[in-house]
Structure 1
Amino acid sequence: MISSDLRKKEKRLFEILERAGSLLVAFSGGADSSFLLAAAARVLKDQTAAVTADSEIHPSGEKERAVRVAKKIGVRHEIIHPAETRLDGFLANPEDRCYLCKKNLFKQTRRLAEDLGMAHVAHGANVDDLSDFRPGARAAGEWGVLSPLADAGLKKSEIRALSKKMGLETWNKPATGCLATRIPYGTPITQKALSMIDRGEAALRAAGFEDCRARHHGETVRIEIGRTCFQRMLEPEMSEKITAAFKKIGYAHVSLDLEGRAPGPGRGPWKTRDPRQKY
């Protein structure tokens, strides 16, 4: 059951989208951008399009999932190739890595919007993101990228509730994010590391740990899963299976982060550290 307050926020979102006139949505296929795209398609119809970045810094299978979701929503869908690893300074993994990435992405997205005759570009930032460390938000501001979900006052949990109401398959999809975020700031990003992380998280998901992270620390991987999954992970057969999978990938040591994975602003395994080191 949707509360009256949430209905008001939904109405506010539709009004914001209607004022936009036409919209190109930066679309990852995750819960936030899928809901934004579906809402925009409902309001603006064929004046809505989606654009997805196909890149080696994104988990394998994400582009294919985005293509499937966009097709179900019924909008024009473009694929771009940002080539983040070729950006000056990106591979050094500085604290403004996300800014460098998003600046490049929004520059290309803005250019595509102009080619398609779309008045605006929007991304799926929500209210919860505003209290989080998001260097990429600066790039969105610089390129005039709209944040309709945040402007409507929508939180992540509310987006999931509205997505479920709309019948979107992404309503409960865990956030995935960029693979580079699994590498500590200051540690160089390499193709090998990205591949190891991607393969490791794929192994975790295949074993049933959908909301997971494989944090890369050289020869050591630090696995993050929810605390409610600890018992299953520590069953002898499962722990042996996961350890073998990561060692086959190339890790010498496989560890489980005992703080667990707790998504959300200001929470999770970085909570006792400098928040800028959230990765």
Structure 2
Amino acid sequence: MEAILENKLENLKKHISDMEKVVIAYSGGVDSNFLLKVAKDTLGDNVLAVTICAMMHSKREIEEAKQYAKYYGVNHIIHEIDKIDLKEFTDNGPLRCYYCKKFIFSTIKEIASEHNIKYILDGTNLSDLDDYRPGLKALEEINVVSPLKNSKLTKEEIRILSKELNVDTYNKPSFSCLATRIPVNNKITEEKLRMIEEGENFLQDNNFNQYRVRLHDDIVRIEVEKKEINKFFDKEMINKINVKFKEIGFKYVTLDLEGYQMGSMN
């Protein structure tokens, strides 16, 4: 491990150690899984993982989070929210992420309070600051601590350190809530989110690594990594995807020739 990375890891451990007892907003993704591992190694049983399960979350991601938390032996709460009655979220304006984060982390704050835990941690890292993330303002307002960002760890460094610490998610593809697949000012509904989820599950089942199913009214725009676009040159695969996506309910099925781009809906 390079000296710079080792110093960043030690700073992260010191930062977490100083808080003594923490709640981690836990999705099971690359960042929160790394944070959970380091927190568990540092604070032992003084770590509580909280996973919110709501309409914009993938069920597969929730199940993975359960398995990882169990593997680490961390006390884990799955808090289910049947429906988000938040107009600012469903209307899907430019600040949707802000209102959603405010709602989600206010819920986590209540859970932390019930367990007499002062500090709420999330997996925001230094690389996240390069993207349009209005939700970060909500985290500041609720006093959520972002130790990965504070330790100046980038996404790539987190992947490297995860591999060093034998964290399985070191090479896991980036993921985000399903609401990010719907263009701004297009209403978010349960039906749309479940269609997107089913489409992305199908791509994963067919060995696509990094993907997004973007919804534009009755058109679905599939993004995959550029190196995986060649899979669509196979007639059998094209037909398989076309048939499945129309079964799901998409009227027109398209492939984005620019490939997967993080935040392409921003």
| TM-score normalised by the chain length of structure 2 | 0.97
Q: Give a deviation string over 1:134-157, Cα, whole Å, max 9, x none.
A: 111011000000000000010111
Letter in 2 for 1:68: Q
After TM superposition, list the pairs within 5 Å mapping 1:220-235 onto structure 2.
220-235=219-234
* Matched-pair contact (CA < 8 Å) for 1:47–1:118: no
Distance 2:258 2:238 in 1: 18
Q: Which residue of 2 aligns with 1:273?
A: none
Q: What percent of counterpart residues are identical?
A: 39
Number of residue-to-residue matches in the alignment: 266
Distance 2:202 2:26 in 1: 25
* Matched-pair contact (CA < 8 Å) for 1:21–1:44: yes
Q: Which residue of 2 aligns with 1:125?
A: 124
After TM superposition, list the pairs within 5 Å mapping 1:159-170 onto structure 2.
159-170=158-169
Letter in 1 for 2:252: H
* Matched-pair contact (CA < 8 Å) for 2:92–2:188: yes
Q: Give a deviation string over 1:177-228, Cα, whole Å, max 9, x none.
A: 1111100000011121111101111111111112110000121100000010
CA shift, 1:233, in A, is 2.0
Query: Is 1:175 matched up with 2:174?
Result: yes
* Matched-pair contact (CA < 8 Å) for 1:113–1:121: yes
Q: Which moved more, 1:179-188 or 1:88-97?
A: 88-97
CA shift, 1:84, in A, is 5.8
* Matched-pair contact (CA < 8 Å) for 1:209–1:225: yes
Q: Give a deviation string over 1:107-132, Cα, whole Å, max 9, x none.
A: 11111111112120010000000121
Alignment gaps of 5+ in structure 1: 271-276
| TM-score normalised by the chain length of structure 1 | 0.92
Q: Which residue of 2 aligns with 1:140?
A: 139
Where 1:86 maps in the other structure, the secondary structure is coil
* Matched-pair contact (CA < 8 Å) for 1:23–1:120: yes
CA shift, 1:170, in A, is 1.2
Q: Which moved more, 1:158-167 or 1:83-92?
A: 83-92
Q: Which residue of 2 aligns with 1:153?
A: 152
Query: Is 1:52 matched up with 2:44?
Result: no
Q: Which residue of 2 aligns with 1:109?
A: 108
CA shift, 1:81, in A, is 2.5
Q: Which residue of 2 aligns with 1:194?
A: 193
After TM superposition, list the pairs within 5 Å mapping 1:1-279 onto structure 2.
2-83=1-82, 85-263=84-262, 270=264, 277-278=265-266
Distance 1:76 1:216 in 2: 37
